[in-house]
Structure 1
């Protein structure tokens, strides 16, 4: 196609995109309008079958690697060039929604369908990827497929990972027909774009259609154990108690205050707690709880980490208990490529869409991909900021806007 024709406005099909999302949502549909397609279950296999069928209908060739990542390629004029890639995942939470992950995959497919509609041939090939087990619900770790692709996880370890029933990833891939033979990673990618619902309330609150994602918050997860001594609640005077729960609450409260003191991008959450022996008339002898802290700035995240440790040490001394802190996960803050981020910003401008810069507080496959190729993300609003929930919702016009920005951002990159 001539460069003059490329200047003509090209619009993706909002109706086709939304219908594809609704058709995929029928697989694993829940009674409350959501989805349950856990990774590598038969329902996940059915979802993969449906989407790859659409990809083949769009003239794409399908390659599956050894951890089940699916790469659908639309050839370019020069197939020796590294592909311009986009995608996400289609596995869900147990009570997930219709859009988390799925939108990114089907927006990528819609880009290809739109190129086909207008007979546009790109210089570089375009690939749409479906990453395996992004959610990490059935198998740990999260973002398993993209992590393996960038070399974060070893193939053998991934294939031998088991779920709570002892079923292996390798066996479950084979059972659904996605135990691919292609090597995992080890090849160049020209650029990676990922479209996603925001999974938070900021865009809706600010009345913006497009979130230009500048990077991801860093994350540190901990398991904290506070040990005191269980004793009878009646006869034991207050001053001599070693109340593990009472001591733990001071740490828990400071997790929140720590985040507030590192505003606006500080985050602090205690998401799970267990009290032992959990009896009405027994002073708690042990409390275990989780801590999740996040920040976009590495120095600020380190300061939050050091404060958590200092607080635990102080409470240990002042409450005559022992406090053990185990860090179980760490993701450093990940800034996205400035040129790629600006491409998304310019695409929003050229499409006359309202937009704002935003940082993602959730983990995405794009965070791993940023370690191997220039990367950017595009957010669109979701209703009330709700995600990982069956009532997750997004407006068709917002989804179409996100896919349009994806198209406008990818095309120039694929034409280089």
Structure 2
């Protein structure tokens, strides 16, 4: 079988060019960050650039009704299900250049490399990018891939709103990516996603490549605590209904749960906390906080959620506040296909690239696509302990190149060289 190597310099140029769309100077780090939330003007500009690169690579582009974009390279036997690779190009508000984009731009580079080598495949090959993977703007992560895999309905997704009241549907129309292709895509033969690790496992092991065994359980909830506003100076401590104090106790309890070991490898984060009326000398009448829980064990995740709910009930009575929960997202542990993992391992071995196997702590589009076809992921090591969702996010040109070389040759093995 042909062994192919991508053009690393070209891939790096593309990564650096795309990061300037939504680029900003981050005061906290002194670095150049990326702020490209889903379906914003910046996302629209990035989408148009990536689509132009797809077309230049000879791909036939289609956009579906949730705004997912696919580029297809024809196979010699077009009736066969395609080999799909992909990821996302939206970012968090304080993002970097590699999260998601490496898998998309790397996929385009795979197609260019196959074209330049004159390699044909039995199966069609597609590269795609999915809408609102991060969940930052509309509150539901992996939105586009969840819709195309059938876990979420198009109507539900279209009606989601951002903080300003704009709906997904309206924003798709506004930026010109309200496509006409069916949102439920044809079932692929298999799916491989290349993504930065966003953690320290690969760097600690001293390797560039990770083979992902699955994605841990993820729970997102929004908790609203309501008390009573009152004067900060005249209201006795014992008379208060302080929503801010109750919120603080929730945050401390989540950390205690993580440290206790009772819930296995639980990770908990309150990433957003807002107090009303938000005045220095007024006791908070309302606190809204997001709760992000992660666990590689479904049973322990359920136990953690149950305990936290009971804790909130108890502090509600103690602090004279009411509590309302809103479910934002909940996914079980998703194991990836062992056969596809083995193909990636064989490919890495053939390329002479050492690797480790690891479970992903972050959510990815691959976990949604795994519901409809065999799926797996290639991780790429990051610098700075693999830090991500910050301008400090960085994977070296060498690591990125090695990851996409593995992706390219695994895709070729599965697509069937003619």
What TM-score do the two structures reach when normalised by structure 2? 0.88
Counterpart residue number, 2:28: none
SS in structure 2 of the partner of residue 34 of structure 1: strand
- Residues 120-159 of structure 1 mapped to structure 2, 5 A cutoff: 120-159=119-158
Question: Is 2:68 the partner of 1:69?
Answer: yes
Counterpart residue number, 1:302: 302
Counterpart residue number, 1:14: 8
Counterpart residue number, 1:324: 323
Within 2, Cα distance between the matches of 1:226 and 1:156? Answer: 30
Runs (5+) with no aligned partner, structure 2: 26-30
SS in structure 2 of the partner of residue 111 of structure 1: helix
Within 1, Cα distance between the matches of 2:411 and 2:241? Answer: 60
Within 2, Cα distance between the matches of 1:177 and 1:50? Answer: 13
- Residues 3-402 of structure 1 mapped to structure 2, 5 A cutoff: 6=1, 8-31=2-25, 32-227=31-226, 244-260=243-259, 261-262=261-262, 265-276=265-276, 286-316=286-316, 319=318, 321-322=320-321, 324-328=323-327, 329-384=329-384, 385-402=386-403
How far has the Cα of 1:400 moved from its partner?
Answer: 0.5
Structure 1 residues 232 and 83, CA, compared in 2 at 3 Å: closer, same or farther? Answer: same
Within 1, Cα distance between the matches of 2:235 and 2:103? Answer: 58
Within 2, Cα distance between the matches of 1:33 and 1:391? Answer: 9
SS in structure 1 of the partner of residue 24 of structure 2: coil
User: Conserved in 1, the CA contact under 8 Å of 2:4 and 2:409?
Assistant: no
Within 2, Cα distance between the matches of 1:43 and 1:283? Answer: 39
How far has the Cα of 1:156 moved from its partner?
Answer: 3.5
Structure 1 residues 167 and 398, CA, compared in 2 at 3 Å: closer, same or farther? Answer: same
Within 2, Cα distance between the matches of 1:139 and 1:287? Answer: 20
User: Conserved in 2, the CA contact under 8 Å of 1:220 and 1:327?
Assistant: no
User: Conserved in 2, the CA contact under 8 Å of 1:312 and 1:323?
Assistant: no
Within 1, Cα distance between the matches of 2:234 and 2:177? Answer: 62
Within 1, Cα distance between the matches of 2:263 and 2:344? Answer: 26
What TM-score do the two structures reach when normalised by structure 1? 0.88
Within 2, Cα distance between the matches of 1:30 and 1:233? Answer: 39
User: Conserved in 2, the CA contact under 8 Å of 1:76 and 1:122?
Assistant: yes
How far has the Cα of 1:80 moved from its partner?
Answer: 0.5
How far has the Cα of 1:167 moved from its partner?
Answer: 4.0
Structure 1 residues 266 and 346, CA, compared in 2 at 3 Å: closer, same or farther? Answer: farther
How far has the Cα of 1:96 moved from its partner?
Answer: 2.2
How far has the Cα of 1:231 moved from its partner?
Answer: 6.0
Runs (5+) with no aligned partner, structure 1: 1-5
User: Conserved in 2, the CA contact under 8 Å of 1:245 and 1:275?
Assistant: yes
The RMSD of aligned alpha carbons is: 2.7
SS in structure 2 of the partner of residue 30 of structure 1: strand
Within 2, Cα distance between the matches of 1:223 and 1:140? Answer: 10
**350-359 or 392-401, larger mean C-alpha shift:** 350-359
Structure 1 residues 51 and 226, CA, compared in 2 at 3 Å: closer, same or farther? Answer: closer
SS in structure 2 of the partner of residue 46 of structure 1: helix
Counterpart residue number, 1:3: none
Structure 1 residues 144 and 285, CA, compared in 2 at 3 Å: closer, same or farther? Answer: closer
How far has the Cα of 1:37 moved from its partner?
Answer: 3.0
Within 1, Cα distance between the matches of 2:237 and 2:105? Answer: 60
Within 2, Cα distance between the matches of 1:87 and 1:46? Answer: 19
How far has the Cα of 1:213 moved from its partner?
Answer: 1.2
Structure 1 residues 271 and 38, CA, compared in 2 at 3 Å: closer, same or farther? Answer: closer
Q: Tell me the number of residue pairs that the alignment of Structure 1 and Structure 2 aligns.
A: 409
**306-315 or 225-234, larger mean C-alpha shift:** 225-234
SS in structure 2 of the partner of residue 215 of structure 1: strand
User: Conserved in 1, the CA contact under 8 Å of 2:241 and 2:321?
Assistant: no
User: Conserved in 2, the CA contact under 8 Å of 1:229 and 1:242?
Assistant: yes
Within 1, Cα distance between the matches of 2:6 and 2:263? Answer: 38
